[in-house]
């Protein structure tokens, strides 16, 4: 049953055009399904707002079928804890960066390779291609039903002191996502990577456990990290991709029409989210600058890129071979 329902998702939802679906009548015995949703950020951020948007449209399409219990501000843990909770059945849905999900699907690292993506449009073309379809299938086989890819924006370097040259990373303690790729990337610049959950990052930076990190601008402001790492260098080294996902152990218990409607709404939500995130990035940068952030441009950008591109070779076998990387480059 599991493989059947997830194959139907691929055809009907995340990467395919949405189509109209009639509301159907439920049996009198059917009960409202509670969907516990984990969000890392506050109510005003796109990460949480998008679940309010999904909940409203689900109620319009299928009244009283679902009750969304949206838990914000990282109260259910960081991304790794949330993903684990989804597999255990305590969490039914969330957004997640592909970086975290590479613990289950290493091939997702094709979306994380540094300096591979030129801009948001390039990433969008890739996730809508066969590359994206293959990743959705792989996620489903590991218990994550991805109904749409999302774009959190570019990751930039954040630090306690100005850093504009690659050699200035030497010896810096760098908070990284708990991912082999991110660890390898910053090690190549001479930094000392430390895997710290995002919910613990503020304290780690304020107490000196870490001296630098990388993150999107929206999350930088949303987590108030400008208070502890006031220098932002616009390296834009990784396009931070993610997914809207549902736990398969929840999804597979839904009626076929419920799957279809949630898939369609969530696929549309991914585009809404991307638009909100682009606007939020600008507002977040303005806010951070108004509170003391200094924005810097990287010097010798070709040296940053050359060092980082060595990661492509290291991970080419993991992501499917050099031909997969070349297929991404052709879509630039």
- Number of Cβ within a 10 Å radius of residue 211: 22
Residue 79, helix vs strand vs coil = helix
| Segment 23-38, tens digit of pLDDT | 334 443 468 999 999 9
Q: What angle do CA 37, 222, 151 make, to 5 degrees?
A: 65
- Number of Cβ within a 10 Å radius of residue 164: 17
**pTM value surpassing 0.75:** yes
- pLDDT of the residue at 178: 84
Residue 103 scores a pLDDT above 90: yes
Residue 16: which pLDDT band, with cuts at 50, 70 and 90? very low
Do residues 86 and 144 make contact, with C-beta atoms less than 8 angstroms apart?
yes
Q: What are the structural domain ranges in the chain?
A: 33-330
Q: How far is CA 203 from the centre of its chain?
A: 22
- pLDDT of the residue at 5: 52
Query: Residue 332 and residue 330: Cα distance in Å, rounded?
Result: 6
| Segment 157-179, tens digit of pLDDT | 999 999 999 999 999 999 998 88
CATH of domain 33-330: 3.40.190.170
Averaged pLDDT, 70-98: 97
Residue 254 scores a pLDDT above 80: yes
Do residues 47 and 9 make contact, with C-beta atoms less than 8 angstroms apart?
no
Quick one: which H or E segment has residue 238? Answer: strand 231-247
Q: Which of 17-21, 67-71, 229-233, 253-257 has the lowest mean pLDDT?
A: 17-21
Q: Give the CA count within 13 Å in the CB-facing half-sphere of 34.
A: 8
Exposure b/e, 296-317, CB count within 10 A at least 16 = b = bebeebeebeebbeebbeebbe
């Amino acid at each position: 049953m599991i493989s059947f329902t997830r194959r139907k998702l691929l055809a009907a939802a995340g990467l395919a055009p949405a189509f109209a679906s009639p509301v159907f009548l439920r049996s009198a015995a059917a009960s409202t399904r509670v969907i516990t949703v984990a969000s890392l950020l506050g109510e005003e951020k796109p990460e949480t707002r998008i679940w309010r948007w999904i909940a409203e449209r689900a109620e319009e399409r299928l009244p009283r079928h679902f009750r969304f219990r949206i838990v914000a501000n990282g109260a259910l843990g960081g991304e790794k804890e949330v993903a684990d909770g989804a597999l255990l059945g305590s969490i039914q849905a969330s957004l997640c960066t592909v970086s975290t999900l590479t613990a289950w699907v290493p091939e997702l690292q094709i979306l994380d390779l540094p300096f591979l993506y030129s801009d948001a449009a390039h990433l969008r073309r890739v996730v809508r291609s066969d590359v994206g379809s293959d990743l959705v299938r792989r996620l489903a086989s590991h218990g994550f039903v991805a109904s749409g890819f999302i774009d959190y924006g570019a990751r930039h370097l954040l630090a306690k002191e100005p850093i504009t040259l690659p050699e200035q990373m030497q010896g810096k303690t760098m908070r990284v996502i708990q991912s082999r790729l991110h660890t390898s990337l910053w090690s190549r610049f001479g930094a000392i990577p430390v895997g710290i959950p995002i919910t613990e990052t503020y304290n780690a930076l304020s107490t000196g456990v870490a001296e630098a990190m990388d993150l999107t601008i929206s999350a930088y402001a949303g987590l108030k990290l400008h208070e502890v790492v006031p220098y932002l260098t616009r390296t834009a080294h990784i396009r931070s991709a993610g997914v809207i996902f549902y736990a398969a152990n929840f999804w597979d218990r839904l009626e076929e029409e419920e799957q279809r409607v949630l898939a369609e709404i969530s696929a549309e939500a991914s585009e809404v989210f991307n638009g909100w995130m682009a606007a939020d990035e600008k507002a977040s940068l303005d806010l951070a600058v108004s509170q003391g952030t200094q924005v810097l441009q990287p010097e010798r950008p070709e040296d940053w890129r050359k060092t980082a591109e060595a990661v492509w070779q290291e991970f080419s076998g993991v992501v499917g071979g050099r031909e997969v990387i070349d297929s991404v480059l052709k879509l630039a």
